[in-house]
Amino acid sequence: MNQTTSAPPRNRRARVMTAVFALVILIPSMLGFIAKFIEFIAVFRGQGEGSFAVTPMVNYLLATTGFFCLFGWALLHGMFREIEAPKQRMLETEEWLVRQEAASDSM
């Protein structure tokens, strides 16, 4: 079985859609995040109601830091290169397995 499939021709429309969605999602979410961060600073400035919010915020920041590291790791390890290739490889793997199973069944 050939495990090293080359990427299919890029689908231009899919790439444009990906970029558009990345922007539409990232911009409002970044704004939300920045707003959160400003509020977080306010907590430490001693606003009365602020100290309460520390628990959920710290939870979130810890989780997000983990994901940020994972994202960086994925980027550095080429996980987003040939971004469409895994979808072809996955199908080929499954088809190969099915063929092997059919052969095994008929033995």
Partner 1 sequence: MSSASLTDNRTVDVDRLVDRKLVLYFYLASLTYLFISMLGGLLMAFQLIRHNPLSGIEIFSPGRWRMVHTNAIAYGFLANALLGSMFWAVPRLTLRPVLSRLLSWFIFIAWQGVVLATAGGILLGQAQGLEWGETPTWIDPVALLGLALVVLNFLPSIVMTKGPLYVTLWYFMAALVWTFLTYAMGNFMPEYFVSGSAAGAVGGLFIHDLVGLFVTPIGWGLMYYFVPILLKKPIWSHGLSLVGFWGLAFFYPLQGIHHFLYTPIPMFLQYGAVISTIAVELVVASVIINFFGTLRGSGSAFITNLPIRWFYTGMIFYFLTCLQCAFQTTLTFQAIIHFTDWVVGHAHLVMFGVFGLWIQGIMTYLMPRLIGHEWYSRRLCEWHFWLSAISLAAMATDLIAGGLVQGHVWRALLPWDVSIEASMPFWVVRVFTGLGMFAGQIVFYVNIYRTFQLAQQGAPEAAPAARPALVGA
Which residues sit at the interface with partner 1, rule CB under 8 A?
A: 1-4, 11, 14-15, 17-18, 21-22, 24-25, 28-29, 31-33, 35-36, 39, 42, 49-50, 52-53, 55-56, 59-60, 63-64, 66-67, 70-71, 78-91, 93-94, 96-98, 100-105, 107
What is the C-alpha to C-alpha distance for residues 60 and 18, in angstroms, rounded to an integer? 26
* Cβ nearer to partner 1, comparing 44 with 60: 60
Q: Which two tokens stand for residue 86?
A: 């895994």
Q: Which is nearer to partner 1, 11 or 44 (CB)?
A: 11
| Least Å from the CB of residue 44 to partner 1 | 14
Instruction: Choose between 21 and 44: whose C-beta lies nearer to partner 1.
Output: 21
> Could you give the C-alpha distances from 26 to 22, 33, 58, 98, 105, in angstroms and in order?
6, 10, 21, 40, 49
CA 85/CA 11 separation, integer angstroms: 12
